């Protein structure tokens, strides 16, 4: 079996999924085999909070120019997380997107190895 995930449409009406200051969107986990396809789990994810976390983390990104003239950005505390772009600003913007996706996947896997960024600690059990 292989798994896939789908973040629900952010424009759909989810007034019942807001809690406090955070908007939650669901992520469907699908289990797919040769004969069946079924939804095995639904987990609410605080996407607004994760977005702010990713943007704040990207601001601490280290940027360097590569030999071909493109730019590379990484955050030392985020092992294996990096992005590249034509300009330094493109690399940092892409880095925020990568951190967002990486964090969502960590949360879905219930992997608590998520760095604290500023006063934002997403490590929840």
Q: What confidence tens digit (pLDDT) does each residue in 75-113 have?
A: 999 999 999 999 999 999 999 999 999 998 888 888 889
Structure tokens at 104: 């969502």
CB 54 within 8 A of CB 100: yes
The mean predicted confidence, pLDDT, of the chain is: 77
Structure tokens at 90: 């493109």
| Residue in 96, 111, 93, 110 with CA at minimum distance from that of residue 51 | 96
| Residue in 45, 61, 57, 58 with CA at minimum distance from that of residue 10 | 45
Kindly list the structural domains of the chain, giving each domain's residue range(s) and its CATH number in brackets, ordered by start: 2-108 (3.30.160.250)
Lowest mean pLDDT among 7-21, 34-48, 54-68, 111-125: 7-21
| In the chain, % of residues over pLDDT 70 | 64
What is the per-residue pLDDT for 95? 97
């Amino acid at each position: 079996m292989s798994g896939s995930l789908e973040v629900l449409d952010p424009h759909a009406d989810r007034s019942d999924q807001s809690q406090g200051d955070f908007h939650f969107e669901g992520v469907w986990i699908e289990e797919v085999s040769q004969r069946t396809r079924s939804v095995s789990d639904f987990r609410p994810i605080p996407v607004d909070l994760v977005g702010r976390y990713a943007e704040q983390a990207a601001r601490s990104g280290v940027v360097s120019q590569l030999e071909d003239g493109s730019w590379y950005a990484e955050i030392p505390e985020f092992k294996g997380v990096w992005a590249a772009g034509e300009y330094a600003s493109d690399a940092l913007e892409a880095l925020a997107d990568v951190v967002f996706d990486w964090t969502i996947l960590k949360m879905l896997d219930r992997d608590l190895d998520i760095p604290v960024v500023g006063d934002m600690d997403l490590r929840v059990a």
